[in-house]
Structure 1
């Protein structure tokens, strides 16, 4: 099977984007003051690392003419090989933007924008998917990115003092009056 150069190029973009996200989330976890925010960014960094390993392994498989492999298989093989994360991250526009305005609100806003772009990217790739395995893997990525977006929007609500986080009240108006 000949490698599909377009999908290899798209996987290369995804790989670089996930690396940027990984380093950004690690940086944000250190910079933000909100404990929930720290936990969220640490969790997202771990998930991005898995995405990097999976995308790297799938890209290798496609480049070598073997086609797409499933997410779990790619993750197992990616973890086993310890391949995926470069030693040097290079330029990271997300971190540069955070360094200019090191607030929790800005960190979450940048993260939301990044995840919205990821949702758009994987949605587009899914529409172009040709094989069932490709569709399943891309759907998996898309749903994970949507989950990241939902968590970040909850954090934005919390930071915005709407009184809610994950749809639960963080404080009671009655208690505020006492």
Structure 2
């Protein structure tokens, strides 16, 4: 096996560990959350991490047998989130500033997602196979979606009135 193939296997092991750490954190954060909305966000993200772990493990196992990337390997189809998921989490929140512990937990989640984004972006830059790059960029996109969920909810908890104002700006009458 060539050096590049050994490196990607090592990187995939690191990715699996990162995703397992993320799932463990999100499960614990959901358990400790004071807000039902925060609990829902973390529970949703933990489910996403399970798919990431399974998919990365499948890729690892396939590359261990044959270091050639196939079209099937670069597919990344996480379970579709319910379109109303974020709205449901918002509905569970109260129109009041969030608990400091929940805000801190969201900040930690944001930091973890940012590290994942940077890790996968770095791997994608190094990828020599377009299929490998496409898979890694799919992971970047997925982690970025997690980041945006966390950031949006954090912004809501930090200042609900401001969050609503920004979200509803298209409806502000300046006249």
TM-score by length of 2: 0.74
Instruction: Name the residue aligned to 2:133.
Output: 135
Matched positions, count:
143
Query: Does 2:52 align with 1:51?
Result: yes
SS in 1 for 2:42: helix
Q: 1 or 2 for the larger relative contact order (CA 8 Å, sep ≥6)?
A: 2
Deviation digits for residues 16-65 of structure 1, max 9, x if unmatched? 00000011111111111122211111110011000000110101111112
After TM superposition, the runs of 4+ consecutive aligned structure 1 residues lying more than 4 A away are none
- Tell me the C-alpha RMSD between the 2 structures: 2.4
Would the aligned equivalents of 2:34 and 2:102 in 1 still touch at CA under 8 Å?
yes
Would the aligned equivalents of 1:54 and 1:71 in 2 still touch at CA under 8 Å?
no
Deviation digits for residues 73-113 of structure 1, max 9, x if unmatched? 8x7xxxxxxxxxxxxxxxxxxxxxxxxxx810111011000
In the alignment, structure 1 segments of 5+ residues that lack a partner are 76-101, 170-178
In the alignment, structure 2 segments of 5+ residues that lack a partner are 79-99, 169-175
TM-score by length of 1: 0.73
CA distance in 1, matches of 2:118, 2:138: 14
